[in-house]
Structure 1
Amino acid sequence: MTCKRSKVTFQRRENSSVRFHCCVPQCTASSKFNSVLSFHAFPKDKDVQKKWVVNIRRDNFKVTQKKRVCSRHFRCSDLIEPLNLGGRRRLEKEAIPVLFHWNNFTVPAEQPGVLKGIKTDQLHDDDPSMDAIADHYHHDYIHTSAARDHTEDLLVEIASLQKQIEEISLSSRFCLERFAASDDDIRFYTRFATHAHLMAFWRLVEPAAGKVVTMSRAQAAANTDDLFDTAGAMSLQPIDEFFLFMTYLSLGLMQRDLAHRFRIHQSAVSRIINTWAKFLDMVLRAVEIWLDKKTVKAHMPEVFQHYSDTQVILYCAELRCQIPNPYQSDAFSTYKPQWTFKGLIGMAPHGAVTFVSSLYKGTISDREILKHSGIEAFVKPKMAIMVDEGFLVENCVSCKVHIPSVLSKRAQLSGSEIWKMQSLARLRRHVEHLIGRVKENKIFSTVIPLSLTGSVNQLYSVACHLVNYQNGSLVKNWPDTD
C-alpha cells in the first residue's frame, strides 16, 4: 500500500529540550525544525529491530535509545495519529521503515523467492530463515546500488555524446568559435596575432557594431525581394560578420567562396563586407592616432639615438590595380610601369601607425600627395620627418627632413654621408615592415579588381589602422648593425 505524501514543511520548535536526528543515510531531518515529522525509537523486538537495520542500510550499526527514524520513512498506514492535540504519534506494531531516498519514497514491490511463505514473527536469531532474509535484503541493496551506478555511467556517456555532437556541429560551421583555440588559425584568417588580440579589439567595437548590423539588415530587407538573402544574413551573429570581413580582407577570397564557407547568400556577403568596411573605417578614423612630440620622445627606441628628433617616418605606398578603361588612364604610375593607387602612411619611431592618408591616383606627385594628405598640419618646425630618397619633399614642409644623400654629379660620397645613408636605410626598413604587414592582407598584395575601386579607400584605411591592434611593436632595440 502506498500513499501520496504532501510536501513537508519545517518549523522551529522553541520548547524542545531534546533534539533528535534521523539516522537514515541521506536524510537530514532533525527535531530542531519540525512541526510535522515525528521521530521513532528502534523497537525492542530483536527480529523487527534487525529488519529496521537492514532496511535503513546501516552496516555495523549499533542500536541505542537515542537513535531515531523519522516518520517520512514509514507508510501512512503504519502511523497512528494522536487523538488529542499535543499527543504523540505512534507506530503500528511491527511497522518497518520502507520509504527512502534511494527508492524515491515508494513502497518496493514484494519479492518472490526466499521470503514467500515465511512468517517473520516465528523467526529467531538462530533460525536459518533469518539469514535468508538478511541475504535477500543484502542482494536487493547490491542490485539497487548497481542500477544507480549504471545510471550514472549512462548519464556520463550521454554528456560525452552531446559534447561530440556539439564538436561535430561546430567543425562543420565556418565561424570564429571554430578557430578560437588556435592562434595560428586566427593569425591566418584575420591577421590578429592571437585570439586574445582579436577579442580585445572586438570588445572595443562591439557596443556600436550591434546597432550597425541591425540597421544594415533592416535596409537589406527593405531593399530586396530575395527572402533567402535576408534569411541568410540573419543566420550570422555580429561577431561572425566581423570574422567574415576580416577573412575577406586577409585572404582576398571571392564572395562566392565566402558564401559557401559561411552558408549564406552571396548578396549577403557583399552587404556584410560593405557594411563592415564603412563601419570600421568610421570607427578607426575617429580614434586620434597622431602622437605629440612628448609621447614620441618617451617611446623613442635606442636605434634612433642619432635621429631622436624624428616625429614620423613617411612612406608612400603603391597598390596595383586592374588596368582601367581609357578614361581612367591617369591612374598610371610614372614610378612603376603599372596602374596604381598611392597612399601616404606615417609611422612613429617605435612602430605605431600615426598617420594614414586617402588613396590617390598613381600619377600624383610626391609634393601633391603631401599637400593633399593633410600631414603638413601636424608637423612643427622643431620636429623632423624621415623619408625615402625617392620622396622629394625637402622644400615642402617647415620642419627638418632626414633623407639619404644622393650622388648627384659627385663621383662619391663622404664617409659621414655614407654612414648617414646606411643608418637611414636601416631605420627605414621598419616602415617597410609596416607596409609589409598591411600587404599581408591579400587584397593589397595582388592586383585590386576594378569592382573594388568604390570601397578600396575604406578597405586600405581599415587595414592600416588595424596594424596598431593586430600585432606587437615593430621596432625593437636592435643593434645599429646588420
Structure 2
Amino acid sequence: MVHTCVVAGCRNRRIPGTSLSFYRFPRDPDRKQRWIAAVNREGWLPNDGSRLCSTHFISGKQVKNPRSPDYVPSVFTSAPLSPESEIKEETAAFEISDKQEAQVEAANALLFLQGQGRSVVDQRLSQVDHDVAQSASSSSSSDNGEESEPVSSDSKDRGGKPGKRSAAEPDNYEDMLKFLKKENRALRESVDKMSLSETSFRNDAEKVRFYTGLPNYFVFETVMWLLAPHMNGTKNMVKLSMFQQLLLTLMRLRLDLKNQDLAYRFGVKVGTVTRTVLRMVNVMSTTLVPTAVFWPSRAELRKNLPAALHSTYPDCAVIIDCFRVTLEKPGSEVNLLCGASAGSNTLKYMIGMAPQGVVTFVSRGSPGSVSDKSLAEGCGFLGKLLPGDVVLADKDLDIGESVAAHGALLKITGCDGGEGSEGSEGVSLTDISPERLSVRRHVERVVSMVKLRYSMLTGPVEVPFTAAERSSNIFTFDKIVQVACALNNLCISAAPLE
C-alpha cells in the first residue's frame, strides 16, 4: 500500500527504493493529540491509514522516550499560503530558516547529552535549505508563470536545476558547517569526560583509582565479571546497569559520598541508592570476601617477606590493629544486638594484615567499650597463630598475654611502646636503629592503608548501614568492612613482592 505523508505541503510517499520511514499516529491519547496539534491541520483527524514521514523528526526517526525532542514531530515547513500572502512568505522564508537551524542545533545537542543522538546537523540543514529554496521557487512561479532559479547553488545535487548564488554564500555555509561540527565534537568529548560511563573509565586508569580505589579498569571489569552471575536477579529491581550498580557502590565505599549526592549523579532516587549499596555489599560479601581474605601458610609468608622485616622479624606472621568507627545514631540496633549500653556510639574492629599489606583477618564489630583482650579472644584471631609466630603492632594493645598463651610473641613498633609486649616507655627516633625505624614505618603504612583507601570506614556510619540480618545477626557495616578489605587485596600491596 502506498502511503503519503499527511503534513500539508509534504509530498513524500512510500515508494520502492525510498529511505524514509512512515509512522502511524500513536495509540496513547495524550501523545496522539500532541501529534495532531503538531501537524496543525484545522478540523482534521487521523484515521488508520494516516502516516507521518520521518523527515518531520530531528533525528530522522520517532523516539518513544518522553524526554526526547523526537517524542513529538517538530520539523515542519510552512503550509501553502493564499495568493495575497505569498509575497510576505518570500521575505520571511530566510528568517524561518535561521530559526529552524537554531532549533536543530539545540535539539541535536540535547540528543547527544541524552546519549541518543547522532550527527544530524548536516542532514537537517540540507533539508531546511531545500525547503526554503522550494518555497521561494513556488512563490516566484506563481507570479511569473515560469520556474525561477533556486536560491541554493547546490540544489543540483538534490535533483533541482542549477541556479545562481552570491560568491560569498558558499564559503559562509561551509565555514558554518565546519564550526558546528567542531563544536559538536568538543561537546561530545566534554560530556564523555564528565560522565560516569564505561567508555570514560575504560581509557582512564587515574579516574578508576580515584572513584573506586581499584588500580585500573581491567581489575574493575574482572570484579564485575565475577559478580555478574549473582546480579541477574537485580535487573528488574534497579534502573541501573551492572556497571552503574558496581560503580555506585565502590564510590560509596571509596569516597564516602552521601546517598543524596549519588542519587543526583546517577539520576535515581535516594532509596534506590541505599538499596543498591546494600544489595551489592551482600553480593560482594558472599563472593569476593571468602576468596580474597584468607590466612596464608607460614611458608608463603616467609617466601614473600618484605625486605624491611628480613633481618629483624623473619618469623612475622601478621600485623594487627584495632580501630573504632563512630555510629551516626547512638543506641542503634548494632549496640542492642551487641549487648552494649544505649549511650555507646562506636564499633570496634580488629584487623590483621600480612607483612606484604594484604588483609588476612578482620573481626566482626564489637561495642567500642570492649577491651582489646576481650575482642582478640572472642573474634577467633588467636586461634590462627602458630608457636613461634611474631605479631607486630604500631600501638600498645593489651593482648600480649593472650598471644603468648598460644606460643607467639607480640612486638610493639610505635613510639608509644617499647620493643616488647609489655609496652615500656617510649623510645626516641635517635635511639632506634635504621632497621627498627624501617620496620616501624612499614607497619604504620600497612595499618593506615585500608582506611585511607576506603573513606567510609572512618565513619560516622549512617543508620541504613547499621541494620543486621535477623538470621545471622551480622551487621551490614561488618560486611562493608570485610568487602573493603577484600577490595584492598585486589590492589597493589604496601610492599610489592620481590
Does residue 456 in structure 1 map to residue 468 in structure 2? no
Over residues 67-103 of structure 1, what are the superposed CA-to-partner deviations in whole Å (9 max), with x where a residue is unaligned? xxxxxxxxxxxxxxxxxxxxxxxxxxxxxxxxxxxxx
Q: CA RMSD in A?
A: 4.3
Q: Distance in 2 between matches of 1:410 and 1:319?
A: 25
Distance 1:452 1:430, change over 3 A: farther
Deviations 1:362-407 (Å, cap 9, x if unpaired)? 1222232222322233221132222342232333441321324489
Matches within 5 A, 1:196-345: 197-218=215-236, 220=237, 233-234=238-239, 236-287=240-291, 289-304=294-309, 305-325=311-331, 328=335, 339-345=345-351
Q: Is the 8 A contact 1:344 1:357 kept in 2?
A: yes
Quick one: structure 1 residues 425 and 339, their matched pair in 2 at CA, closer, same or farther if it must change by over 3 Å?
A: farther
Relative to 1, partners in 2 of residues 1:409 and 1:213: Cα closer, same or farther, differing over 3 Å?
A: closer
| Superposed counterparts of 1:428-443, under 5 Å | 428-440=440-452, 441-443=454-456
CA–CA separation in structure 1 for the residues paired with 2:389 and 2:406: 9
Alignment partner, residue 457 of structure 2? 444
- Report the Cα distance in structure 2 between the residues aligned to 1:160 and 1:312, rounded to whole angstroms: 58
Please tell me whether the aligned partners of residues 320 and 444 of structure 1 are also in contact (alpha carbons under 8 angstroms).
no
Following the alignment from structure 1 to structure 2, what is the Cα–Cα distance between the partners of residues 216 and 299? Answer: 40
Runs (5+) with no aligned partner, structure 2: 1-161, 163-173, 413-417, 468-475
1:182 Cα deviation (Å)? Answer: 4.0
SS of 1:466's partner is helix
Quote the offset at 1:307 in angstroms: 0.9
Query: CA–CA distance in 1 between the matches of 2:317 and 2:423?
Result: 31
Distance 2:423 2:269 in 1: 64
Matches within 5 A, 1:59-208: 163-164=185-186, 166-171=188-193, 173-192=195-214, 197-208=215-226
- Secondary structure of the 1:382 match is coil
The Cα offsets for residues 402-445 of structure 1, whole Å up to 9 and x where unpaired, read as: 32448999997999xx759x966753543433342322323222
The structure that has the greater radius of gyration is 1
SS, match of residue 209 in structure 1: helix
Letter in 1 for 2:234: S
Determine the C-alpha separation between the residues in 1 that align with 2:355 and 2:251.
Answer: 30
Aligned residues: 311
Cα distance in 1 for partners of 2:250, 2:235 equals: 19
The equivalent residue for 2:141 is none
Q: What amino acid sits opposite 1:292 in the alignment? A: S
Give the TM-score normalised by the residue count of structure 1. 0.54
Q: AA paired with 1:457?
A: D
CA distance change for structure 1 residues 352 and 161 in 2, over 3 Å: closer, same or farther? same
Unaligned runs of 5+ in 1: 1-110, 112-151, 221-232, 478-482
Structure 2 match to 1:128? none
* Residue 392 (structure 1) aligned with residue 399 (structure 2): yes
Describe the SS at the equivalent of 1:210: helix
Contact persistence 2:320–2:447 (CA under 8 A): no
Spell out the pairing of 1:4-15 with structure 2 (5 A cutoff). Answer: none
- Give SS of 2:195's match: coil
| CA gap 1:261/1:181 in 2 versus in 1, 3 angstroms | same
Q: Distance in 2 between matches of 1:253 and 1:436?
A: 20
